[in-house]
């Protein structure tokens, strides 16, 4: 056995297919074939190198009030070739929808059409300033107006506020509108009701609107208990925040009854619309008694998640709330489109500096126009079909949390792993070895060791069958007691399991120069 | 439908496996009467037709690159290298989710770690988070964080804070415990404007929020206000709406800021009619656990290999729920990648050079306009933006120039309607402005004023 | 040990860093983490599925002369999400410049700027038809004219023909022009002289121009033997094809002497300009007596190789040859730019249907304008510097074929591997494990087991040092007799060594349906 | 320079390692007098400035997508889905070389294998190569291959072969043993045109080259010419300049072709003012070893895993040198990827539908023009292109319409100057042509003729 340059021994390894032992050699570079090591940009570049050419400026007198920056900033620059390589290499450590099934429940990781990317980059959309004279952005305003028309038509709601920047921002917008409406009628209420299964943003939002959050229980079948809800409803309740379809992937069967009860109590019904993908074109929230609901354009309408954002969270409003919608909004006047951005009105105010996520509006409208009314309904049906196909195909080997069909996502819990020593986390990491992004784990909180699988409509039957084969295989391995497959997983990923505890205990949140480091 | 892989045969086979006859059997919980409503919208269309329809809308707008362009006030037209857009379109970046599974998300996590470091370096602070929606929402978050840190309520918003930022803070905190004291800009006297803010700081103050450069473009020395704030155990929050300025101007950290928030659009990101943009949020080590937003931190894997994970998530909504430091979930991930790529190209050297060109261009514009009768430049200091007083209302002049193919800036009345600033115009000039552009602007403005 | 679904045992493997044995599990899906299996598109799609929406056409009477295609074509279609995934997955099996050092000698694998890609896609370049009225393509003709100006200035030659589609096509163009010139003066010659080190396209080209090829030997120092050449020159020799810098990476030190001798014998000097990157801005072929020379825009001027093409091979001509240049060409007239595409003249004729590789012209000019005269010279110097740095850093452990400095590429042979049992091929495959694309192997033919290393100017010193470390490591491993590292290499690539003999013995050149296959 | 990573410090350190003082010491073989000449060209420029300069040139051209567009004759404007361009810009595809190291080039190799299969299927042949430069050079290669296969010299080029293809064949073979017999088109009688070619076939004939549809757009039944060729042991070479036609029209293979060459630009590739394009080359199994160009074949790796390699390279220049079947090296790799991506989207279903729309649009144009006084449509059969006879010279009319914002087609005199076809105009219509476009064309043409 030889030693490599770092002095580590190279070791034999077994060939995966034959079990035969073969040597594997550590490289001198640290790279391994197409898996290429890549340090931080700070370890590669210097503050003296740059990957841009900038016009040389002759000396001139500065007018910065004597406040020139005269200490080192510390940001390194790389020549362009090295920048391309750095980020190409980094990208190859990621999993994305473009690589395979990404069944992350509650996130609707559907195909992101490249047409949308192209459209958003048209200079007429991508290269216009939010404060240009309105006469020079009529096309943009028309697009926003057209998008609003699609959204209100699909949701059956009279109005929409486009500006919220993501789902959580939309929730803020919606609950604020509710509070504004209540205050306008002099009604100071204190409580927002949320089911236990609610996404974390729901209670957090309610808190940021100055409300106390009270939990409402679920029925055996995973839906909100309308009776319990009715009991909790009184004149201190400002709003009820319900996700529908809910985070267990189920449609709230008593939704209209619930809505009526909410309204009867003088409260408002905020619907978390993160799961709208299951029902778009199939049923309109406006027909169900909803007062406010956000859409996640980055889920339902295919704008890319981009590793965490940006998103866009338009909020639709009922007649009771629409006058409290935020500014700015677009109106169509005699001389063309206008923006209302100020003035005396009942609007809850401004939620963001400009008009919201134009880049996402373009992509979402591109998606809507492409699908049309027929394709949108078909997409919802296919999303639900794929999820139920997973549920039906895995029900015998995994433990479905609830009886009966689901909507766009199938919820399992960890009962099938009982006594195997395998946890939901282990199971998820083994899915990585299978070439899949894990499903959502440990959410919703209402079942133990939750596994929430949302395939979306853009997966083929071939992909679903292959995925199901893996899931079945893993489930039977777990039951067979082959715990090794799980506890060390992932084996095939570029990194082994990462230590989150260590990260939180001694947080290192930025690079510091070796000499400056303690 | 080109995006839907299931065929009718597939659908039939899958329904059979599920054990239902029709897909609507899966929607049985939906009230029958409400299922499958008429949706009065057009049917699906080919890619070509969609492209045409959207291109037609786009063509109705005047893009910044097609005309002499001087619009700023919180969003800036810079040259973004082609490499940036290429990198952010890599499918592995574009179509990834928040890196909750770090073993297959090290690409995202590493650039977030790089991004956090860069933002910290630029702002002169210890740590930065992995982004917020935009500069304005980051400002609101900072105000609320200052309340948590100081357990005090009064936030003073200095007059130089962008009108829209101020509105966002007011809106966002209207139902929280924060008490906002907003001041008006004093375009011709930034020192006095700052003094008003200094004077407003007292022992009940949680924070004072100062924009630098101000909405009118003036560059401020913040050491005095920092001292005053700290003397009253209040935090100094500095807002930077033009991050490019940090390549030329002393960092907020160096001047005593406790929290720096900013709009990162200028680096790596296009104008996009206002969004998506990139909220920057930086603070000092001791406040980390009160920060909103995601944080990426270093760790090791089970074999000791260094890697990154999202960390300190006990601050966040998905763990802390109603006790979270913010309700933010989705942030501006891909915009932060664009920022990181562009910054990796620029480096300190390129950033400083570019910032200097910005200042030179603005100086050139200022000189060109100063020569026009009746036009008065109000700024004595500025980075790439300044305010002029016209002999007449600015908005109609801007409209006139727009009709003439010049986008001449932002009338201050657009930001402060009824604020008494009707004759003021805010102009920005970046490295994209050419000598020709300046000449055309000066000529057309002169013409419009005469 | 468990069995996976395909019945293969999973096997233990050693941890690379610790040597400890750990289990590795075969996945059920066939995927391995981020390394995802992907079948042929024919195994995924059907002829009934499609990833496009096409307008529905009402029935109408066809006018195709009764020749409708009524049998199945057999091409499968996939929905767009599956297409994106298919090609994303395939791409991840490739190595490219964007991933790391690509020191493939003679190929000049330099950084491909993304600006160039963007420029080539401007509708005014990418979406214009070669047969539009000239009044509607003046910008395109101006670009071609501008590019010609840069090329003739850099080469110091009076004329350039842009249309050849790649280097080999340029050679054809050049040698044809030579033959046309000779025929025009009634001089029927039969022979083209080529050094043994010539690229295969040189002799092949000569043969396609109806010439016999005769080899000329090299001197000890790797350059053409001017004396031997002079002896071989007589009035049957039409042309001498010499690559300069030559394929050993050396500048032909007797070049002017050789050119004079060629001209004295009434023959022409064709210079293969594939290696122009070493000398651009440093010396002009026009000053060296060259009559015709092609440039590879896809090498020297950074247009991407694209996995094999497309390229572009403009040919510069001396005064003696320029009247024989091919059509079409651009001329500037009173009313703007015009194209000469026909007519009575001495032109050798048309080499391609239209005007050549416009897409490459845009990219190449974008590169030239970016570098400018100063940057171009600097690029040549840096290319030569990087190659010499490799030569100097590896000379003690590998065997440099020739003494003294090189130009843009460093040539080694396999003497240093003597008696190690390691071949050039093995060594190259071990480089794959190191995360590098191998250098050019077994070319040029004049040294044994050639290894031709061309780093290009777009590699940083950091990259060079890392590369050198790997090369040194491998060389000492070979000498230490650790043959295992080589004979089974690559170990870390997604495929192990592929059997080329089998492929050639029983060629399977296309997919056939399983039932149709024998 | 943004593309050059070496710093001056690096350069000094490297020179020291090499043991020379100045970089020019490395250029010592260059004649001193010729080293470092004055190069009278501008100095380096920023990305922004280059982008501006080139954009200015681009803006001087009329792009196909911006006007009613009917230009064809060997290159066609089709809608290429955005996905295609996205995929070919993946760095691993874009910046790879020819897949000489198959272990790290399976991406390229697998798509080449798929491409070869698709081309074989479309043309109705056994095998296809991994691409040639374009349709015209592929045609010349086919003629030379036929000589090698048949050991005969006379190649008959039927009158319907595109004038430029004919020129390329003539140019390319001018110094080989081939003897080219070129015929002229007979736009109003394609059957007679074909008959002339049939008649020219004799025992000395190596091949007859027929384009289908012809340069004038007519669709030919090739069975008779195939029979005649085969009776004389000559090969039938069929040229397809509009590969989209294979979605509607019987394949050359089905009609007896021995070699099919074509221009693949229509699928996946833009107009690009004529290049890069995509030469298709297909033939039957028995001729494989005489084929020019690269071939990708299936094999296994040392562990038995299926994979692909370049194969049968003993045909090629890098092995065979002066005995190679062609001198081609670099081909149209990335264009073949674009083709393969687009074809994977289309599938047989989408291809057939799109081809049908093309035919419908051409039919609509034909009907619209047929109604104009003095305009005579010559074709009885066509795919997406046909020829009309005008009452006057076509070129000035086309110029007039161009000035009026309509690109009306190719005057036949552009292809055959002095060929006696001055009053003929070739018009193409693809799926990109709208009803409005047709109306405008008809109206403007009518106006121009009156
Ligand atoms: C049910 C639910 N509600 C709200 C949100 C918050 O949306 P965003 O991340 O866009 O802020 C999410 C996103 O994960 C969600 O799944
Ligand atoms: C020395 C030399 N000559 C000629 C060629 C042929 O050029 P192309 O591949 O562009 O046809 C090459 C390309 O590899 C080469 O290296």
Bigger pLDDT: A286 or C3? A286
- The whole-angstrom distance between B385's CA and the closest CA on chain D is 21
Give the count of alpha carbons within 13 A of C97, CB side only: 33
pLDDT in tens, A329-373: 999 988 899 999 887 789 999 999 999 999 999 999 999 999 999
pLDDT in tens, B334-344: 999 999 999 99
Q: What is the 3-state secondary structure (H, E, C) of C28-85?
A: CCCCECCECCCCCHHHHCECCCCCCCCCCCCCCCCCCCCCECCCCCCCCECCHHHHHH
B5/C49 touch (CB, cutoff 8 Å), yes or no: yes
Residue nearest to atom 7 of ligand 2 (CA): C167
Enumerate residue ranges in chain A where pLDDT < 50.
1-21, 516-518
| Cα C105 to averaged position of ligand 2 atoms, centre (Å) | 11
With cut-offs at 50, 70 and 90, classify the pLDDT of residue C17. very low
- The answer, yes or no, to whether any atom of ligand 1 lies below 6 A from the CB of A116, is no
- The answer, yes or no, to whether any atom of ligand 1 lies below 6 A from the CB of A244, is no
Residue C515: the pLDDT is 64
pLDDT score of D438 more than 50: yes
pLDDT in tens, D137-180: 999 999 999 999 999 999 999 999 999 999 999 999 999 999 99
Q: At C421, is the secondary structure helix, strand, or coil?
A: coil
Is ipTM over 0.95? yes
| Residue C418: partners with Cβ closer than 8 Å, 6 or more residues away | none
Name the residue of C203, C296, C299, C364 whose CB sits within 8 Å of the most ligand 2 atoms, as the mutation to test its pocket: C296
B3 → closest Cβ in C15, C54, C80:
C80
| Cα C279 to averaged position of ligand 2 atoms, centre (Å) | 17
| Cβ proximity of A91 and A36 under 8 Å | no
Average pLDDT over residues C267-282: 98
A308/B330 touch (CB, cutoff 8 Å), yes or no: yes
Q: Any chain B CB within 8 A of the CB of A39?
A: no
* Run of H or E including D16: helix D8-18
* Run of H or E including D195: helix D190-200
Give the residue on C whose Cα is nearest the Cα of B92. Answer: C88
Residue A15: the pLDDT is 43
Q: At A172, is the secondary structure helix, strand, or coil?
A: helix
| Cβ proximity of B395 and B417 under 8 Å | no
Give the closest ligand to the alpha carbon of residue A294.
1
Dist CA D279 CA D171 (whole Å): 17
C23: Cα separation from own chain's centroid:
43
Residue C13: the pLDDT is 47
DSSP of C137-194:
-HHHHHHHHHHHHHHHHHHT-SEEE----SHHHHHHHHHHHHHHHHHHTT----EEEE
pLDDT score of C8 more than 60: no
- The whole-angstrom distance between C464's CA and the closest CA on chain A is 11
C57/D360 touch (CB, cutoff 8 Å), yes or no: yes
| Residue D32: partners with Cβ closer than 8 Å, 6 or more residues away | none
Contacts of B304 in chain C (CB under 8 A): 17
A114/D303 touch (CB, cutoff 8 Å), yes or no: no
| Cα A165 to averaged position of ligand 1 atoms, centre (Å) | 12
Q: Interior CA angle at B446 toward B443 and B447, to 5°?
A: 85
Across the B/C interface, how many CB contacts are shorter than 8 Å?
A: 50
| Cα D1 to averaged position of ligand 1 atoms, centre (Å) | 45
Contacts of D82 in chain B (CB under 8 A): 47, 51
C200: Cα separation from own chain's centroid:
13
Contacts of B53 in chain D (CB under 8 A): none
- The answer, yes or no, to whether any atom of ligand 1 lies below 6 A from the CB of B330, is yes
pLDDT in tens, A137-173: 999 999 999 999 999 999 999 999 999 999 999 999 9
Q: Any chain D CB within 8 A of the CB of A115?
A: yes
For residue A311, the ligand 1 atom closest to its alpha carbon is: 10
| Cβ proximity of B45 and A372 under 8 Å | yes
Dist CA D367 CA C270 (whole Å): 55
Enumerate residue ranges in chain B where pLDDT < 50.
none
pLDDT in tens, C77-133: 999 999 999 999 999 999 999 999 999 999 999 999 999 999 999 999 999 999 999
| Cα A296 to averaged position of ligand 1 atoms, centre (Å) | 7
Dist CA D260 CA D124 (whole Å): 9
Residue C345: the pLDDT is 84
pLDDT in tens, C206-253: 999 999 999 999 899 999 999 999 999 999 999 999 999 999 999 999
C434 → closest Cβ in A14, A27, A458:
A27
Dist CA B243 CA B200 (whole Å): 27
Q: Any chain C CB within 8 A of the CB of D290?
A: no
| Cβ proximity of B222 and B252 under 8 Å | yes
Contacts of D47 in chain A (CB under 8 A): 52-53
pLDDT score of D79 more than 80: yes
- Per the prediction, chain D carries an average pLDDT of 97
Residue nearest to atom 9 of ligand 2 (CA): D330
Give the closest ligand to the alpha carbon of residue C106.
2
pLDDT score of C12 more than 70: no
Name the residue of A296, A300, A352 whose CB sits within 8 Å of the most ligand 1 atoms, as the mutation to test its pocket: A296
For residue C311, the ligand 2 atom closest to its alpha carbon is: 10
A46/B347 touch (CB, cutoff 8 Å), yes or no: yes
- The answer, yes or no, to whether any atom of ligand 1 lies below 6 A from the CB of A166, is yes
**Which of D 9-38 lie inside 8 A of C, CB atoms?**
10-11, 13-15, 17-20, 23, 25-31, 34-37
- The whole-angstrom distance between B196's CA and the closest CA on chain A is 19
pLDDT in tens, D97-128: 999 999 999 999 999 999 999 999 999 999 99
For residue C166, the ligand 2 atom closest to its alpha carbon is: 10
B345/D2 touch (CB, cutoff 8 Å), yes or no: yes
Q: Any chain B CB within 8 A of the CB of A170?
A: no
| Cα C201 to averaged position of ligand 2 atoms, centre (Å) | 7
Give the pTM.
0.97
Show which subunits contact A, needing at least 3 CB pairs below 8 angstroms: B, C, D
């Amino acid at each position: 056995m030889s030693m490599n340059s770092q002095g580590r021994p190279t070791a034999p390894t077994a060939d995966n297919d034959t079990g035969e032992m073969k040597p594997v050699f550590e490289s001198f570079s640290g790279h391994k074939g197409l898996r290429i090591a890549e340090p931080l940009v700070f370890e590669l570049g210097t503050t003296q190198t740059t990957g841009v050419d900038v016009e040389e400026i002759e000396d001139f007198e500065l007018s910065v009030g004597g406040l020139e920056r005269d200490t080192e900033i510390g940001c390194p620059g790389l020549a362009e070739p090295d920048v391309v390589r750095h980020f190409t290499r980094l990208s190859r450590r990621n999993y994305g929808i473009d690589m395979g099934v990404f069944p992350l429940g509650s996130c609707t990781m559907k195909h992101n059409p490249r047409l949308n990317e192209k459209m958003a980059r048209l200079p007429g959309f991508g290269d216009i300033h939010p404060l240009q004279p309105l006469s020079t952005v009529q096309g943009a305003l028309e697009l926003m107006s057209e998008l609003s028309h699609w959204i209100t038509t699909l949701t059956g709601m009279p109005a929409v506020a486009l500006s919220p920047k993501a789902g959580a921002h939309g929730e803020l917008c919606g609950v604020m509108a509710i509070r504004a409406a209540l205050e306008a009628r002099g009604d100071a209420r204190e409580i927002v009701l949320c089911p236990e299964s609610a996404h974390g943003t729901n209670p957090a939002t309610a808190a940021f609107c100055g409300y106390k959050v009270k939990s409402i229980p679920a029925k055996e079948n995973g839906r909100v208990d309308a009776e319990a809800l009715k009991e909790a409803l009184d004149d201190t309740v400002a709003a009820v925040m319900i996700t529908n379809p809910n985070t267990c992937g189920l449609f709230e069967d008593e939704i209209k009854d619930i809505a009526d009860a909410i309204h009867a109590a003088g409260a408002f019904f905020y619907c978390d619309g993160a799961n709208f993908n299951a029902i778009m074109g199939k049923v309109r929230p406006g027909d169900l008694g909803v007062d406010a609901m956000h859409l996640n354009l980055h889920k339902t309408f295919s704008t890319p998640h981009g590793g965490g954002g940006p998103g866009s969270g338009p909020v639709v409003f009922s007649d009771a709330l629409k006058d409290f919608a935020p500014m700015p909004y677009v109106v169509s006047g005699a001389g063309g489109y206008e923006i209302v951005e100020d003035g005396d009105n009942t609007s809850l105010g401004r939620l963001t500096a400009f008009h919201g996520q134009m880049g996402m509006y373009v992509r979402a409208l591109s998606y809507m126009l492409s699908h049309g009314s027929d394709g949108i309904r078909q997409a919802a049906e296919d999303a639900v079909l794929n999820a139920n196909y997973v549920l039906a195909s895995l029900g015998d080997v995994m433990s479905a949390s609830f009886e009966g069909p689901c909507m766009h996502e199938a919820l399992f819990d960890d009962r099938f792993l009982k006594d195997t020593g395998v946890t939901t986390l282990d199971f998820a990491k083994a899915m990585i070895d299978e070439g899949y992004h894990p499903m959502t784990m440990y959410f919703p909180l209402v079942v133990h060791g939750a596994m929430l699988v949302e395939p979306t409509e853009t997966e083929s039957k071939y992909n679903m069958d292959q995925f199901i084969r893996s899931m079945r295989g893993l489930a039977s391995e777990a039951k067979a007691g082959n715990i090794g497959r799980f506890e060390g997983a992932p084996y095939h990923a570029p990194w082994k399991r990462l230590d989150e505890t260590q990260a939180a205990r001694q947080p290192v949140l930025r690079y510091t120069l070796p000499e400056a480091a303690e | 439908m080109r995006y839907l892989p299931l065929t009718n045969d597939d659908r039939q086979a899958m329904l059979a496996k599920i054990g239902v006859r029709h897909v609507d059997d899966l929607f049985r919980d939906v009230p029958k009467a409400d299922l499958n409503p008429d949706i009065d919208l057009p049917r699906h269309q080919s890619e070509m037709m969609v492209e045409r329809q959207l291109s037609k809308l786009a063509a109705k707008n005047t893009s910044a690159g097609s005309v002499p362009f001087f619009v700023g006030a919180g969003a800036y037209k810079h040259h973004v290298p082609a490499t940036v857009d290429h990198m952010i379109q890599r499918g592995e970046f574009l179509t990834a989710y928040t890196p909750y599974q770090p073993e297959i998300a090290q690409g995202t996590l590493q650039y977030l770690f790089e991004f956090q470091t860069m933002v910290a370096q630029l702002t002169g602070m210890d740590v930065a988070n992995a982004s917020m929606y935009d500069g304005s929402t980051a400002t609101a978050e900072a105000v609320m964080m200052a309340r948590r840190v100081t357990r005090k309520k009064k936030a003073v918003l200095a007059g130089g804070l962008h009108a829209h930022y101020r509105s966002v803070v007011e809106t966002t905190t209207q139902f929280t415990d924060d008490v906002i004291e907003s001041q008006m800009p004093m375009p011709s006297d930034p020192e006095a404007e700052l003094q008003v803010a200094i004077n407003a700081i007292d022992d009940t103050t949680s924070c004072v929020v100062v924009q630098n450069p101000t909405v009118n473009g003036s560059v401020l020395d913040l050491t005095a206000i920092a001292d005053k704030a700290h003397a009253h155990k209040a935090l100094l929050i500095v807002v930077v709406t033009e991050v490019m300025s940090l390549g030329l101007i002393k960092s907020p950290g160096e001047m005593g800021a406790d929290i720096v928030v900013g709009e990162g659009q200028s680096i790596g990101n296009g104008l996009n009619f206002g969004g998506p943009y990139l909220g920057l949020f930086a603070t000092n080590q001791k406040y980390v656990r009160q920060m909103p937003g995601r944080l990426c931190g270093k760790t090791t894997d089970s074999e000791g290999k260094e890697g990154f994970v999202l960390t300190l998530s006990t601050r966040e909504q998905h763990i802390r729920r109603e006790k979270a430091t913010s309700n933010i979930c989705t942030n501006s991930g891909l915009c932060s990648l664009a920022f990181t790529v562009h910054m990796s190209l620029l480096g300190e050297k390129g950033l400083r050079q570019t910032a200097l060109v910005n200042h030179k261009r603005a100086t050139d514009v200022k000189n060109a306009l100063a020569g026009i009768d009746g036009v008065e430049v109000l700024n004595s200091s500025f980075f790439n933006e300044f305010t002029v007083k016209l002999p007449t209302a600015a908005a109609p002049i801007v409209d006139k120039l727009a009709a003439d193919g010049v986008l001449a800036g932002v009338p201050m009345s657009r930001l402060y309607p009824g604020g008494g600033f009707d004759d003021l115009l805010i102009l920005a000039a970046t490295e994209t402005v050419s000598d020709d552009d300046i000449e055309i602007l000066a000529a057309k403005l002169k013409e419009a004023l005469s």
